[in-house]
Amino acid sequence: MDKLQIEGGIPLKGSIRISGAKNAALPILAGSLLSAGPVTISNSPHLHDVTTMIELLACLGVDVTLNENMQVEVAAKNLSSFRAPYELVKTMRASFLVLGPLLARFGEAEVSLPGGCAIGSRPVDQHLKGLEALGADISVTDGYVRARSNGRLVGCDVHMDLVTVGGTQNLMMAATLASGTTRLFNAACEPETVDLGNFLNALGAKVSGHGTSTIEIEGVDALHGGSHRVMPDRVEAGTYLVAAAVTGGHVHLRDVEPETLGAVLDKLQQAGAEVTVGDDWIALDMAGRRARAVDIETSPYPGFPTDMQAQFMTLNALAEGTATINENIFENRFMHVHEMKRLGADIELHGQSMAVVQGVKELRAAPVMATDLRASSSLVLAALAAVGTTTIDRIYHIDRGYETIEEKLGQMGAKVRRVS
C-alpha cells in the first residue's frame, strides 16, 4: 500500500496547472449514455474514479477509448447490459449516476445501491422519488435498484426535499429524453451541475436554469453526438491555495475558474492571504505570514463547499486564534480530526457536526492514515507545514481526487516522496 513521505516547513512557491474537475467528469461520462455518440470529452482528469467510471461504461457495452490527445471518446450505440454491479458501485458511488441515463434512453436499469461511505450514510431517496415522479417503476431488492419505464418517461414538476448534487444530476439527465417538460425545484447549483447541463445541451438537450435552484428540461426525442471540455477542478484549486496559505508561500494556479471559488477565496482573504485573480488564474501570496483563524459553515453552493472543510481545518489548526467549523452537509466528515490531533492539533469535537479549533504555532510530524478523499488532502496540507517528515498511509484515497499530487507539489518546491 503506497504512502506519501512529506518533509514539512517549506513555503510553497511556483505555478501549476489545475486539472479537469472530477465531480464534473463523472456525471458527464454517465451522461454520455444518453447519446449513440460519438461523444468526445476533453480535459477529463486521469484519476482512479474516472477510470472506474470508464470501466463501468465498458462493462455496459459502451465503446470507450482514449485518443491520442488524451480525450475520452464514447459511443453508447448498442449496450450489452443495463446492470451496474455492486463490485464497481461500492468502489465509486458516483456510478449511481448511470441510473437516470440508462432508464431514460433504454427504459430499464439495474444499479446497485451505493451504500454508505466513510463520510456518511448518503441515501439516494431523492433520486428514486424523482424518477418515480417521472413515471418509472422502481423496486429495491437484494441491494439493487431495479427501474423500468413503460415507454418514455413523462416530464413533470419535481420538488426535491433537500439539495442533492447527485440527485439533481440523475434527474436532469433522465428528463432530457422524457416527453414534455420537467422542472426541478430546490435543485443543486454547484458549478459541476452547470457543466453537466452545458454538456447535455451540446448533445442537443434543452436544459435551462442550471446554476439556479430551478432547472427546466424540455424533453427531446434523442440526443446526438458532440464534444465538451470538462471545467477546471475548483476543489483541487482550493486545496493548493490552502497549501500555500499554511506554508506561508506564494503560488499561481493556471486553468481555473475563480468565479467558482468565491466563498473559498473570501475565507482565504479573511485569513490574511493576498489573493489576486484573472480570467483563468488565481494567485495567492501569504508573504510568510501566519494565517488568522476563520469560522466555517459548510452549505450548498454558492455557500462554503463541504469538500473544502477538511482543508480549512488544517488552516485553522495552525492559525492565530480560535475557529468554529460546522459541517452541515455530511454527518461524519470529521474523520481527519483524530489523525490531525496526532500531529499536535488542538481540536475539540462537539457532537458530529461541530469542531472548535484552537490554532497552535506548529504541528509536529507523526505517522498518520488517510480515511477519505478530502480528509487525506488535509493531512497532506498539515504535513507540508509540520516540523519534520510525516508519512501518510492509505494514500489511495488521495489518488481518487488529486491528479499527480506529488508532481504538482514538487513543482511548487515541496519535498514529497511516494513510497510503497
Q: Which is nearer to ligand EPZ, 126 or 149 (CB)?
A: 126
For residue 165, state whether it binds ligand EPZ (rule: CB under 6 A).
Answer: yes
For residue 126, state whether it binds ligand EPZ (rule: CB under 6 A).
Answer: yes
Q: Which of these, 133, 184, 135, lies nearest to 163 by C-alpha position?
A: 184
For residue 388, state whether it binds ligand EPZ (rule: CB under 6 A).
Answer: no
Query: In this chain, which residue has its C-beta nearest to ligand EPZ?
Result: 166
For residues 333-352, which are near ligand EPZ according to CB under 6 A? none
Among positions 26, 200, 313, 319, the unique one binding ligand EPZ when judged by CB under 6 A: 26
For residue 122, state whether it binds ligand EPZ (rule: CB under 6 A).
Answer: yes
Largest CA distance in the chain: 64
Q: Which is nearer to ligand EPZ, 102 or 293 (CB)?
A: 102
Please check whether residue 126 is in contact with residue 161, taking contact to mean a CB–CB distance below 8 angstroms: yes
- Applying CB under 6 A, the span of 75-83, 123-131, 243-251, 279-287 interacting with ligand EPZ comes to 123-131
Amino acid at 101: P
Q: Which is nearer to ligand EPZ, 35 or 168 (CB)?
A: 168
**156: which residues sit within 8 A by CB, 6+ positions away?**
133, 134, 180, 182
Among positions 23, 35, 52, 314, the unique one binding ligand EPZ when judged by CB under 6 A: 23
Q: State the number of binding residues for ligand EPZ (CB under 6 A).
A: 23
Q: Which of these, 108, 113, 112, 138, lies nearest to 124 by C-alpha position?
A: 113
Residue 281 buriedness (CB in 10 A; 0-12 / 13-18 / 19+) = middle
Write each residue from 176 to 195 as x if it is in contact with ligand EPZ (CB under 6 A), else as -, in one continuous string.
----------------x---
For residue 105, state whether it binds ligand EPZ (rule: CB under 6 A).
Answer: no
Cα–Cα distance, 197 to 191 (Å, whole number): 10
Q: Which of these, 69, 67, 68, 71, lies nearest to 29 by C-alpha position?
A: 71
Q: Which is nearer to ligand EPZ, 27 or 258 (CB)?
A: 27
For residue 264, state whether it binds ligand EPZ (rule: CB under 6 A).
Answer: no
Among positions 8, 31, 135, 166, the unique one binding ligand EPZ when judged by CB under 6 A: 166
For residue 100, state whether it binds ligand EPZ (rule: CB under 6 A).
Answer: no
For residue 302, state whether it binds ligand EPZ (rule: CB under 6 A).
Answer: no
**277: which residues sit within 8 A by CB, 6+ positions away?**
258, 265, 283
> What count of Cα atoms within 13 Å lies in the side-chain half-sphere of residue 392?
33
Q: Which residue has the cell 417503476?
A: 137
For residue 124, state whether it binds ligand EPZ (rule: CB under 6 A).
Answer: yes
- Applying CB under 6 A, the span of 118-126, 179-187, 240-248, 381-389 interacting with ligand EPZ comes to 118-126
- Applying CB under 6 A, the span of 71-79, 132-140, 161-169, 173-181 interacting with ligand EPZ comes to 161-169
Question: C-alpha grid cell for residue 388?
Answer: 519534520
How far apart are CB 127 and ligand EPZ at their closest, in Å? 5
Cα–Cα distance, 159 to 213 (Å, whole number): 10
- Applying CB under 6 A, the span of 117-125, 244-252, 285-293, 348-356 interacting with ligand EPZ comes to 117-125
Among positions 127, 210, 336, 397, the unique one binding ligand EPZ when judged by CB under 6 A: 127
For residue 329, state whether it binds ligand EPZ (rule: CB under 6 A).
Answer: yes
DSSP state of 267: H
For residues 58-97, which are near ligand EPZ according to CB under 6 A? 94
Show which residues are catalytic.
117
For residue 120, state whether it binds ligand EPZ (rule: CB under 6 A).
Answer: yes
How far apart are CB 381 and ligand EPZ at their closest, in Å? 15
> In what helix (H) or strand (E) does residue 275 lie, and over which residues does it extend?
strand 274-277
| 13-17: strand order across its sheet | 13-17, 250-254, 281-285, 274-277
Alpha-carbon distances, residue 297 vs 102, 261, 310, 318, 320 (angstroms): 36, 15, 12, 19, 19
- Applying CB under 6 A, the span of 99-107, 165-173, 237-245, 267-275 interacting with ligand EPZ comes to 165-173
Query: Can you list the positions of beta strands (E) in 153-219?
Result: 157-159, 181-185, 206-208, 214-218
Task: Name the site residues for ligand EPZ (rule: CB under 6 A).
Answer: 23, 26, 94, 120, 122-127, 162, 164-167, 192, 306-307, 329-330, 373-374, 401
